[in-house]
Amino acid sequence: MKIIVTGGAGFIGSVMVQYLVNKYPEDMIINLDKLTYAGNLENLKPVEDKPNYRFVKGDIADRKFIFELFETEKPDVIINFAAESHVDRSVEHPEEFVRTNVMGTTTLLDACKAYGIKRYHQVSTDEVYGDLPLDRPDLFFTETTPLHASSPYSASKASADMFVMAYHRTFGIPVTISRCSNNYGQYQFPEKLIPLMISRALADEQLPVYGDGANVRDWLHVEDHCQAIDLIVRNGREGEIYNIGGHNERTNLQVVKTILAALDKPESLIKYVKDRPGHDRRYAIDPEKLTKELGWKPQYNFDTGIRQTIEWYLDNKSWWERIISGEYQNYFKEMYKDRVTD
């Protein structure tokens, strides 16, 4: 099989590419990525010389490029990770989210329609469901929960999902969608909560916790996410949506305190700052469809996964130090200018 993984130089995509290249030596894995600020070819070092791996630089919203790529490569499977993925950035600059997340997805779907495909898989997010109230721990997102996006990011992902389902119904494209909870693990860009807090705590800098820190996220290790996607792509039913999550709900404050304790740093580093506008209160996934239908089971729980992740960031300081010493400094200054003082 020839599989194009889009966004394969980003956090989750690069773990997926490594997983597929190692697990399926008979398959050809093409990593298609625009290399935005979030794309980093260093993430692919462990597989870059493998004969069943290739990198192609390109933009999923560039129609001419995508059609030419389909014409020459004739892929069997597309797994679409490519996206603008950070909620805070979407609040500042929504237009790039529409271009990549919506137009990029429809461009890929049009190419699938023109050239044929065995499976198009859309990597989506639980954020399309909006949020759950904090005082109803009995409620979870299921695949039939109505879409109720809160941020420009989640609105763009929900919109893309609707196009994917529309192309299935109208043109018969064989699609699947997965909606996963928050990921953490190796190679996550340090704009996101966990790597941001690890890198700043190690430098004894303030840790900006939005609002009261009581917002809840359902954390899943990136390797468990990738394993689930592989199962869905190979065994999932066409036209179906699968939620992915492992029942690891934590408040942001719990996450930050866990990181501080593991690094032996004081809680006085925590700084409560101005809340994110539209901030979703709680995400929580019911993964029953995936576990019952496809037999998926996560390998990590939050306690084992966060330990492995912190160790990875300690062992790979040069990876993230290079990132935070570049353009990232301007990003942090701009994004946090009204929030932190250092």
State which of residues 33, 161, 223, 224 lies at the interface with ligand NAD (CB under 6 A): 33
Torsion, Cα 210 211 215 217, to 10 degrees, reads -10
Could you tell me if 273 and 209 are in contact, meaning their C-beta atoms sit under 8 angstroms apart?
A: yes
DSSP string, 223-265: HHHHHHHHHHHHHSPTTEEEEE--S-EEEHHHHHHHHHHHHT-
Q: Which does 196 bind (CB under 5 to 8 A by kind): ligand NAD, ligand TYD, none?
A: ligand TYD
Report which of 80, 78, 115, 108 is spatially closest to residue 2, judged by C-alpha positions: 78
Judged by CB under 6 A, the residue of 22, 24, 27, 36 near ligand NAD is 36
Task: Assess whether 286 carries a catalytic annotation.
Answer: no
73 an active-site residue?
A: no
Q: Binding to ligand TYD (CB under 6 A): which residues in 82-141?
A: 87
Confirm or reject binding of residue 34 to ligand NAD (CB under 6 A).
yes
Specify the residue, 81 or 265, whose C-beta has the smaller distance to ligand NAD. Answer: 81
Q: Which of 31, 90, 100, 107 binds ligand NAD (CB under 6 A)?
A: 100
87: tokens are 């909620």
Q: Do 59 and 27 form a contact (C-beta atoms < 8 A)?
A: no
Whole-number Å distance between alpha carbons of 82 and 254: 30
User: Which of 18, 85, 150, 159 is in the footprint of ligand NAD by CB under 6 A?
Assistant: 85
215 binds ligand TYD (CB under 6 A): yes
* Residue with smallest beta-carbon separation from ligand NAD: 10
166 phi/psi in degrees, rounded to 5: -65, -40
Question: How far is it, in rounded angstroms, from Cα 258 to Cα 265?
Answer: 10
Among 79, 193, 232, 269, binds ligand TYD (CB under 6 A): 193
Query: Residues 33, 127, 131, 249: which is the catalytic one?
Result: 127
CB 285 within 8 A of CB 141: yes
Site track for ligand NAD across 117-146, x = CB under 6 A: ------x-x---------------------
Through-space distance between the first and last CA atoms of the chain, rounded to whole angstroms: 50
Nearer to ligand NAD, 185 or 208 (CB): 185
Which of the stretches 53-61, 133-141, 191-199, 325-333 binds ligand TYD when contact is defined by CB under 6 A?
191-199
Per CB under 6 A, the segment of 1-9, 257-265, 267-275, 316-324 that binds ligand NAD is 1-9
Strands 119-125 and 77-80: parallel
Residue 300 annotated in active site: no
Contacting ligand NAD (CB under 6 A), which of 20, 44, 60, 198?
60
How big, in percent rounded to 5, are the helix, strand and coil portions of the chain? Answer: 45, 20, 35
Say if residue 333 is exposed, middle or buried (CB neighbours under 10 Å; 0-12, 13-18, 19+).
exposed
Q: Which residues bind ligand TYD (CB under 6 A)?
A: 87, 182, 192-193, 196, 208-210, 215, 217, 252, 276
Q: Which residues bind ligand NAD (CB under 6 A)?
A: 6-7, 9-13, 33-36, 38-39, 59-61, 81-83, 85, 100, 104, 123, 125, 157, 180, 182-183, 189
Active-site residues, by number, are 126-127, 153
